[in-house]
Structure 1
Amino acid sequence: MMYIIIFLLCCIIVSLCFYIYKQNKKIISISKQINDILFHHNDFYIQKYKEGNLSILESDICKLVNKIYEQNHLLENEKLILKEYLEDISHQMKTPLTALNLIHERLKKAEGNEKRQLLKEEKKLLDKIEWLVMSLLKMAQLDAQTVTFHQESITQKDFVLQLLNPFEIQIDMKDIQLQINIQESEIFKCDILWTLEAVSNILKNCIEHVEQNGIIHIEMNQNPLYDEIIIQDNGCGIDQEDLIHLFERFYKGKNAKQDSVGIGLALSSMIIEKQNGTIQVENTYPGTKFTIHLYKENV
């Protein structure tokens, strides 16, 4: 009887040692593969263990590796976007900076009216660079999701007055006829400053593309689903091929002004989308119509 017990104990010990050996061998194999992933960027493969702690370990490691792959993919995309972003910024800054250098050299010798004219051109270029830098910073904030939008209340009348205020001189110089269709006392809810930024870029685009004595129509509507803003002009319109690219950053259409940089409408689109909204554009022959829908939170 004693020999049988000893034999069984020996079998158990041998089986246990063999089991521990196999488990250790599998763990070493997993450890080697993890090291290969971390330091040699090899593909990841772990044998499917059917049960036990190794099965749990395998599942957790697979989740971790998949997460790492996903993060690496996002980082690579971000690096590519940043590279393109910097290239675009460099390209957009190069032209006004070159012009400023030329003006600076001419200012050394200029006098009287010529000097005043050069100073005026210099101020215009500096304003353009400031606007470009500020717009790019705003786009970077939106890309990084560091902007918090706040729902604020403003009457339609006050919103339109604040919208038109910065453009009074341009509107007067081109003798533009404004057609305003709003409910003056109706409350409009949005992040006021950011929404004004978005709609101002659209209005600026319309002002630039209407002829002398042109017409710009501004309309605001509300329903249970969304608040609507419509900006429409009777200008030259947008080439059909450009319509689908109009809100891409740094895109310049065929009818774009020579000094256009192609970020104003892209910024508008980003701001509207971040507020659970949509923006659409269409040709109305003559002119162009921009339609903004800001969907309400409870929908």
Structure 2
Amino acid sequence: MGKGARKKDPKKDRKPKVRDVFVARPFEGLAAEPELIAMREFVPSGTARLTLADDAERKITLGTVLPMAAAAFVRSDGEVFIGMQVQTRSSDISRDLGRSLRWALDAKPGDVLSVPDTTSEPVEGERLQDLLAADAELEVTLHEDFSWWLPEDSDASGDVAMSLERANAAIMPTERLDTGAYWVLAGEKAHLRWVWPADENRLLQALARLSAAGEIGLGDETRYAGSFRAHGLLVPVWDLDPEAHAREWAEPAKQLGERLQKALESLDGEPLNATERRSRDGLIGRQLTLR
């Protein structure tokens, strides 16, 4: 080493460590939060148009599952798709989706992003909250199969054809009843799964109030089954009569939603009584946490 040469500081040569802080409620602040969670967790085949904050006319389609569970792709006709249900994730799903969206905006027809970027160092402006119009809701369209992967009058081939066949075989009949509320026929059982954008503790108290009053069901042949946590929100689940068609539950679900909203509002002026607290304790015992 020549005179005056400086030794390298190994600490300065290291790449900055990525802060991978878990975000419990990744879609908070977006009006579309309930539908985003539903599309991520249990809607089988669905699409919705995303509204960009800086370009409301740009057509971006959000899909539940893309071919080969890809994070994003640009179809041969130029339409951009972002996938919700992928095989890898980081500590912040909103950031993963935002990165996939930014990739897709610059991609060309035929380009595919197989997996989301879950390892790059976080930077400002890359989450969905930074890229989408915060007050825009999602209008989810449900499909009986995954033919929407392809342009009109096109046929699948190769890996896409095999992925399409597998995906179609896994679809359970599903209908949307309300915002975040979905009827699903799972084999011999039917359920209502409802994503509510409310604080978990308050929602449990409201459900307990309805339970104590005998108003938590949707009518005969129904029962409150429990709830699971998904991305920071509580998702109540009801068992329904599998012989009834999905449309028969639309009005009962609407009435239940109204009762639940009133129960939430009543909590501000009237705390739970002893009977309602016992009901709440019973509801807490029937929960499953999903991440």
Query: Which TM-score tier does this pair reach, normalised by the shorter chain?
Result: under 0.3
Higher relative contact order (CA 8 A, sep 6+): 2
Q: Larger C-alpha radius of gyration, 1 or 2?
A: 1
Q: Which has the higher helix share?
A: 1
